[in-house]
Amino acid sequence: MGCFFSRRRKPAQGGQLQLQQAAAGQDAATGEQKAPQYSWDLRAKIDPKDYTFSGLKNETVGRLPGKVAGQQFVIQDCENCQIYIFDHSATITIDDCVNCQIFLGPIKGSVFFRDCKDCKCVVACQQFRTRDCRKLEVFLCCATQPIIESSTGMKFGCFQYYYPELALQFKDAGLSIFNNTWSNIHDFTPGENNWGLLPETAVVQDYVPLPSSEELKAVRVSTDATKSIIPITRGRRQKNSDESCLAVFFAGDYTTANARKLIDEMTSKGFQLVQTKEVLMKAEDAHRVFQQSALEFIPLLEKGPVVALEFNGDGAVEQCQSTVNEVFSGTKVFVSESKASAPQDVDNFFNFADMQMGM
C-alpha cells in the first residue's frame, strides 16, 4: 500500500502554488485578485440592437432564418415599413407602429401589439394580444385564444405561408401546425365592429407582399394557400352544410404526413376543413370521445398526441370513410360512423380538446 502511494506523482511546488492561486481567484503571474468567471460569462454576448427595429420610416428590413434563434424581439415606432422576421423567437412586442406590413415567424410565447394602427400582419404564436390598436388585419396562427383589448377595426384570417425552414421553426418554437384558434377571438372591451373576419378570398400577398430587398429575397417564400405550412381552416365561419365528419390520426412516424394527405384528398373533392387539433389523450378521454370504439384505440394513445380533423360538406362521412379505407388501409384511423353520430363525435372531441388546452 505504501509503495502504491509512493508512486503517485505530486504537482511541482510551483504547480501547486498556481492551483492554490487559481482556486483563490488570483492571477498566477502577478498574484493579484481576479473577478471569478462563471459559465454564463463565457457565452456570446447578446446585443439588443440585433433584436430591435426602432424608429424606421419607409424601409424594408428583416432577419433571415437562423438570425434570431429564439431570442426576444422588439419592434417600435416604425412607419410605412415592411418588416420580416423569418425565424423563431421567444416573444415579440410591437409598439406605436403605423401603416406597416409585418411577417413574424413562429413565436414560442406571446406577441403583443400596442398602440398600432393601419398595419397588415402574418403572425404565428402561442399567445396573441392587442391593446389600444386600430385597423389591424392579421393572418393568424395562435395556439391559444387570441385576445384584443381597447382595439377597433380588427380583422382576422387563417395564417397561410411557406418557406423551407418554417416547419422546423414551428418545432423549435414548440408550436403544432394543427393547433390554430385564429377565429376564436376574445374581446376584453366588447363593442360593435371591434373585430371581424377577413374575406374567405383574401390573399396574403395582397396584404403583406413578398420582400423586395435582395437580402430577404433569398428566403424562398410562397403565399400559395395550397403550400401553407398551416392547414387552412374555416374556423368560426358559418358551415356550408349540416354534415360534418371527425377523423382522428394516432401518433406514429407519419401522423403529420397522413393528416396532410387526408386534408388534400378531402379538400380536392370540395369538402371544407373546419378545425384541427393536436392533443394528448388518456384512456378515460378515449371512452368519452370514441364511445363504443374506445377499447380499439386506447393502446395507441401511449405513443403520443392525436391529430383530429373536422371536415364539412354533404356526404363528408361517406367520403372520409372511403378515402381512409383506400389511402390509409394499413393505418388505424377513427372516422365517424354515420351522419347521425358525427355531430356528437365532433362536439365530444373538440370540447375535450379545448378543456385540455385551457380554453
In terms of C-beta density within 10 A (0-12 exposed, 13-18 middle, 19 or more buried), how is residue 348 classed?
Answer: middle
In a domain, 233, yes or no: no
Amino acid at 58: N
199 and 247 in a single domain? The answer is: no
Q: How many domains does the chain have?
A: 2
The predicted structure's pLDDT at residue 251: 93
In a domain, 35, yes or no: no
In a domain, 323, yes or no: yes
- Cα–Cα distance for residue pair 331/251, rounded to 1 Å: 11
Closest CA to 177 of 221, 124, 245, 108: 124
The predicted structure's pLDDT at residue 258: 96
244 and 201 in a single domain? The answer is: no
In a domain, 229, yes or no: no
Its domain, for residue 105, covers 48-218
251 and 341 in a single domain? The answer is: yes
pLDDT in tens, 106-131: 999 999 999 999 999 999 999 999 99
Helix (H, G, I), strand (E, B) or coil at 106: strand
172 and 120 in a single domain? The answer is: yes
In a domain, 295, yes or no: yes
253 and 210 in a single domain? The answer is: no
Cell numbers for 312: 364539412
DSSP code at position 301: G
57 and 197 in a single domain? The answer is: yes
Q: Is 336 annotated as a binding residue?
A: no
Picking from 170, 187, 218, the residue at the C-terminal end of a domain is 218
Any idea which residue has 393536436 for its cell?
A: 278
Q: What is the CATH number of the domain that holds 266?
A: 3.30.70.141
pLDDT in tens, 226-243: 999 999 999 999 999 999
68 and 107 in a single domain? The answer is: yes
205 and 259 in a single domain? The answer is: no
Q: What is the CATH number of the domain that holds 127?
A: 2.160.20.70
Cell numbers for 226: 395550397
In a domain, 43, yes or no: no
Q: Is 126 annotated as a binding residue?
A: yes
DSSP code at position 312: E
168 and 273 in a single domain? The answer is: no
Q: Which residues of the chain are modeled with pLDDT < 70?
A: 1-44, 359
262 and 129 in a single domain? The answer is: no
- Cα–Cα distance for residue pair 255/234, rounded to 1 Å: 22
The predicted structure's pLDDT at residue 94: 98
197 and 266 in a single domain? The answer is: no
In a domain, 36, yes or no: no
The predicted structure's pLDDT at residue 4: 38
168 and 259 in a single domain? The answer is: no
Picking from 218, 247, 282, the residue at the C-terminal end of a domain is 218
- Cα–Cα distance for residue pair 301/118, rounded to 1 Å: 46
Q: What pTM does this model have?
A: 0.86
Picking from 184, 218, 252, the residue at the C-terminal end of a domain is 218
Q: Is 128 annotated as a binding residue?
A: yes
In a domain, 342, yes or no: yes
Q: Is 109 annotated as a binding residue?
A: yes
